[in-house]
Amino acid sequence: MTAISLTRSHRVRAVRLRRIARQFCSHRLALVALIFLVGLALVAVLADVLAPFDPRHQDYDVLNKGPSVHHWLGTDSLGRDMLSRLIHGARVSLLSSVGAIALTLVIAVPLAIWSGYAGGLVDMVVMRITDALQVIPPLVLALAIVGVLGPSVRNIVIALSIIFAPSFIRLVRGEVLAVREATYIEASRSIGSSPFYIVRRRVLHNIASPLIVQTSVTLGFALLAEAGLSFIGLGVQPPNPSWGNMLSTSYASIFTAPAQIYIPGSAIALTVFAFNLVGDGLRDVLGVSSASISRHSL
């Protein structure tokens, strides 16, 4: 009996996933964006193999040179290969934004479920803290946290997860409150399901769609925020490359090599754009209302 229902529910899930995948593929732009992001992730993983030069190697014979056969995207003010720095920068940028979102989910989801399920004092305390964090402009909060903890990628990840947590907590708690009183949850409870089982099988199942959309939209902002903080010198410390600090290096030589700012800048813009497109595509396919998703901008 259990074996049969198990295989059946698996088959139902497989059919549903295939339908979602097919619908997503009909969103041309979202599909292109997803392929771009997967490609970028591969580049980030294979950075050591793909990068033609050591991103930290300085060659004083080629300072601020334009594209050439040797250096496809040219070199920066210290004679470092731009392409290699861009490839290695992708790793830092993607890793820190994914890390920030992962940490956010680990903090926010259990807290929100606990808060929504338990109600009472727990809920009140969690919501008041959430409200308070949302009153502070996000970038200022991130700045203050990185400021006291000290500049580093790890601290940026911590700061970003603190500024993202409130909107995730709000989203998940809202869904928990909505399903808590639903008849099928009551039924599940009445046949003796443990709260843990209900949360895992019923509640998480319901919040999955809005959570996925919120995650993909927030990833774009995380990348932007990391780039911005690295740009003002609070993130990845030189000589290690990140798109943000490449932008500030190229800004420093804006009079001698004005075209240089377009290389890291368009990498950041394209990636953020891709995250937003994938988010919008997923939102349409999963049928999530756009009002439930909170967006940040920088």
Partner 1 sequence: MTGLLVRRLASMVPLLFVVSIVVFLLVHIVPGDPARTLAGGEFATPERVQLVRHQLGLDQPIMAQYGHWLGNALHLDFGKSLTTNRSVLTELAERLPVTAGLVAGAVLFAVLVALPAGIAAAVRQRRWLDKVIIAGVSLGMSVPTFWLALILVSVFAVQLKLLPAIGFVHFTDSPVEWARHLLLPWISISVVMAASLTRQLRASLCDALEDDYIRTARSKGLAPAKVVGKHALKNAAMPAITVLGLQIGYLFGGAVIVEQIFSIPGVGSLLIQAVINKDVPVLQGGVIVLALLVLAINFAVDVVYGYVNPKVRVA
State which residue, 47 or 224, has the beta carbon closest to partner 1: 224
State which residue, 83 or 272, has the beta carbon closest to partner 1: 272
| Nearest distance in Å: CB 40, partner 1 | 15
| Nearest distance in Å: CB 259, partner 1 | 8
State which residue, 31 or 129, has the beta carbon closest to partner 1: 129
**Separation between Cα atoms, residue 38 and residue 31, nearest integer Å:** 11
CB 152 within 8 A of CB 237: yes
Peptide bond before residue 138 is cis, with ω within 30 degrees of 0 = no
Instruction: Tell me which residues touch partner 1 (CB under 8 A).
Output: 128-129, 131-133, 135-141, 143-151, 220, 224, 227-228, 231-234, 247, 251, 254-255, 258, 261-262, 265, 268-269, 272-273, 276-277, 290, 295, 297-298
CB 214 within 8 A of CB 167: yes
State which residue, 198 or 271, has the beta carbon closest to partner 1: 271
The vertex-173 CA angle with 171 and 177, nearest 5°, equals 120
State which residue, 139 or 286, has the beta carbon closest to partner 1: 139
**Cβ atoms < 10 Å from Cβ of 211:** 20
Tokens of 155: 């601290």
| Nearest distance in Å: CB 162, partner 1 | 10
| Nearest distance in Å: CB 17, partner 1 | 28
| Nearest distance in Å: CB 266, partner 1 | 8
**Separation between Cα atoms, residue 183 and residue 139, nearest integer Å:** 42
Nearest to 247 by CA among 234, 223, 222, 228: 228
